[in-house]
Structure 1
Amino acid sequence: MGALPTRGAIVATARESISRGSKSFAAASLLFGRRTRERAWLLYAWCRRCDDIVDGQDHGHGMSAVADAPVRVAEVAAMTELALSDEVVGDPAFDALRIVAAETRMPSSFARDVIAGFALDAEEWRPRSEDDLYRYCYHVAGAVGCMMAVVMGVAPDDEDTLDRACDLGIAFQLANIARDVCEDDIAGRCYLPEDWLVEMDMPPGEHMKPHYRPRLAVLGKRLAARAAAFEASAREGTPALPFRSAWAVLAAAGIYGAIGRKVASGGEHAWDRRVTTSSAAKIGFIARAGVEATRRRALYPRRPRDPSLWTRPRISLAESVPTP
């Protein structure tokens, strides 16, 4: 049996994964300090690998319907549990989770919540209500936001800052859902709540038909508005972060927030082509975020979180934080 891969080798593989899977997150991650940046790459590698296994894709590309989705979720869950138990998995992405979980004392419940989100997709689950939509967004993105906050040094019992991190993940996912309505439909998925489809008098599975585009545009704007509300809440959490972490978070918020705003402004033509953010625009958001991070305590004074926003489920720290 050969020597196990070193931490450096796994970090290098994780860096390659984020460079292939998300140029936006790769750009934002460069703003972190070295140790936080490496841990962010490690966490991303696990998220990306889980998603790719379950959806039968390669670094987020080529999503297709798979016949054995529940089996794939079970495989991902088993390898994740090994990693959370600090056992060598033999897959670089899951060993990446093993490393980052051990180094940060990451609450295990967050990773398990993410796996629960994959299980929802494997079961061909669809949201019936807006509350269902937010719970799904928590599982597939909000919980990842909480994990990223821990990577950035947020204490596992700092509930308010974790709430703000969760808000950012939900904002990202709502923007993704708004942008990817067409791609999801092709893959046989729909994350628009059934209540919304009924309200717009659009039969399930027919929302992409041309004559429904004006009504779909209403829902696209609604998703973008909901995303903006969660994004605003997340921004108010940045004073609790170190400067470089706040800079990265604000840059990511700007880059991803632009996606939702483009969908909203695109109206019924928002899905004619996939909404993207240019390299020049990313540089602009990063520059502006640097100024915002410098002035974050004045721009985003600490105040109670908006009580009208959906709130993530709480965890039991005694059960979820691994012992050293």
Structure 2
Amino acid sequence: MIRPDDLAHCREVIRTGSLSFHAASKLLPANVRDPALALYAFCRLADDEVDEGNNKTAAVLRLRDRLDLAYAGTPLDAPEDRAFAAIIAEYDMPRALPDALLEGLAWDAQERRYATLSDVRAYSARVASAVGAMMCVLMRVRCADTLARACDLGVAMQLTNIARDVGEDARAGRIYLPTDWLAGHGMDADAFLADPHPTPQVRAMTKALLREADHLYRRSEAGISGLPRQARLGIWAARLIYAGIGDQVTRQGYDSIGHRAHTSRAQKLVWIGQAGVRALGAGVMPRSALIYADPLPEVTFLVDAARQGQPARRRMTSVLNTLADLSAREMSHGNGGQSA
């Protein structure tokens, strides 16, 4: 399905660029691990294009074009693109799922701020839960309840990333803390970005994000038993390793400005051992009623898309509107006008 040389390239991208996923991926069966590595390599490419480029708007629009080519069966001549096109063909990947990721990256290009926790969850749904839903498709899982729990895990992981990167994001001029939380603590977002410090107020908001992540990690566990038996160990490991990052932030007193949380190889090995115990237990313990919890409102569109599938050409209206706005900004900038 995926060319061996393209797969080798994708493995190397993940080995050097995503240590946590690389560790967890080793525990997946080959029939899931190989397409998952290709999927993550394409998503990593997309994220890096937007995050590291000088013109984020142009990067998003290039990614839109690359997705169009991949879904047309004529991918760009690059390993990640060829591999992703193979995944589309083999697994009938609904277009709405990578489109959701693209929309989240477009929001980054627009330098959006998020007023409420629900808004932050909506962003997390796009940049993280969309990948979780695509992982379910790679496992041939289309059960709505299992998909909802996979999306819980995606949001939890992204909230953990946000909590870990408060300082790094602030120094890059980005903020993902809900602005109504800042206002509730008497803080101004621009003033914080100009001079970020781990004040008690910022630590309290970081703690609140991790509390929400922990709630969603617990909910996500119920869905793991709905995955293929051979894949459960790897997903359990990913859940525990990412939650461990949040635990490290907690041990630092919720200061992710003066320090950036890191986890060691030894810690990962412990969590992988714990994942093995839990994966074995999933086959004998009664199924948790949490499997039937309603999906978060912010991820329902992902569950529907992955469950039902969509024709390749169908696009979400919100994505089209966001991309149209970016195109207008890019055209204005190219004509000598000022970007908004």
2:310 maps to which residue? Answer: 320
Which amino acid is 1:175 matched to? T
State the shift of 1:212 in Å: 5.7
How many residues are aligned here? 308
Matched, 1:45 2:41: yes
| Mapping of residues 1-324 of structure 1, within 5 Å | 7-56=3-52, 66=54, 68-155=55-142, 158-207=143-192, 209=195, 213-267=199-253, 269-298=255-284, 301-304=287-290, 305-307=292-294, 309-314=296-301, 315=304, 320-322=310-312
Q: Could you state the TM-score of these two structures normalised by the residue count of structure 1?
A: 0.89
Cα distance in 2 between the residues matched to 1:198 and 1:223? 16
State the shift of 1:257 in Å: 0.2
Q: Is the CA contact (8 Å cut-off) linking 2:160 and 2:243 kept in structure 1?
A: yes
Q: Secondary structure of 2:66's partner?
A: helix
> Which segment drifts farther, 300-309 or 201-210?
300-309
Cα distance in 1 between the residues matched to 2:140 and 2:81? 21
State the shift of 1:40 in Å: 0.7
State the shift of 1:10 in Å: 0.8
1:236-282 CA distance string (max 9 Å, x none): 10111122311111101100001112223322534322101100000
Which amino acid is 2:205 matched to? L
State the shift of 1:24 in Å: 1.0
1:63 maps to which residue? Answer: none
State the shift of 1:175 in Å: 0.2
CA RMSD of aligned residues (A): 2.2
Q: Secondary structure of 2:149's partner?
A: helix
Distance of aligned partners of 1:266 and 1:52 in 2 relative to their CA distance in 1, 3 Å threshold: same
> Which segment drifts farther, 213-222 or 262-271?
262-271
- Larger RCO, structures 1/2 (Cα 8 Å, 6+ apart): 2
State the shift of 1:6 in Å: 6.5
Which amino acid is 1:98 matched to? A
Distance of aligned partners of 1:318 and 1:212 in 2 relative to their CA distance in 1, 3 Å threshold: closer
State the shift of 1:168 in Å: 0.8
Which amino acid is 1:80 matched to? L
Which amino acid is 2:310 matched to? S
Q: Is the CA contact (8 Å cut-off) linking 1:167 and 1:233 kept in structure 2?
A: yes
Cα distance in 1 between the residues matched to 2:197 and 2:34? 48
Consecutive unaligned residues of structure 2, counting only runs of 5 or more, are: 314-340
Which amino acid is 1:167 matched to? D
Distance of aligned partners of 1:300 and 1:203 in 2 relative to their CA distance in 1, 3 Å threshold: farther
Cα distance in 1 between the residues matched to 2:240 and 2:129? 17
Q: Secondary structure of 2:189's partner?
A: coil
Cα distance in 1 between the residues matched to 2:215 and 2:284? 19
Q: Is the CA contact (8 Å cut-off) linking 1:207 and 1:216 kept in structure 2?
A: no
1:57-108 CA distance string (max 9 Å, x none): 6xxxxxxxx2x21111000011012112222321211222111122211111
Which amino acid is 2:44 matched to? R
Distance of aligned partners of 1:307 and 1:103 in 2 relative to their CA distance in 1, 3 Å threshold: closer
Q: Aligned residues: percent identity?
A: 35
> Which segment drifts farther, 231-240 or 258-267?
258-267
Which amino acid is 2:3 matched to? R
Q: Is the CA contact (8 Å cut-off) linking 1:239 and 1:300 kept in structure 2?
A: no
Distance of aligned partners of 1:177 and 1:199 in 2 relative to their CA distance in 1, 3 Å threshold: same
Cα distance in 2 between the residues matched to 1:126 and 1:210? 16
State the shift of 1:300 in Å: 6.7
Q: Secondary structure of 1:313's partner?
A: helix
Q: Secondary structure of 1:41's partner?
A: helix
Q: Is the CA contact (8 Å cut-off) linking 1:127 and 1:194 kept in structure 2?
A: yes
Q: Is the CA contact (8 Å cut-off) linking 1:134 and 1:310 kept in structure 2?
A: no
State the shift of 1:307 in Å: 4.7
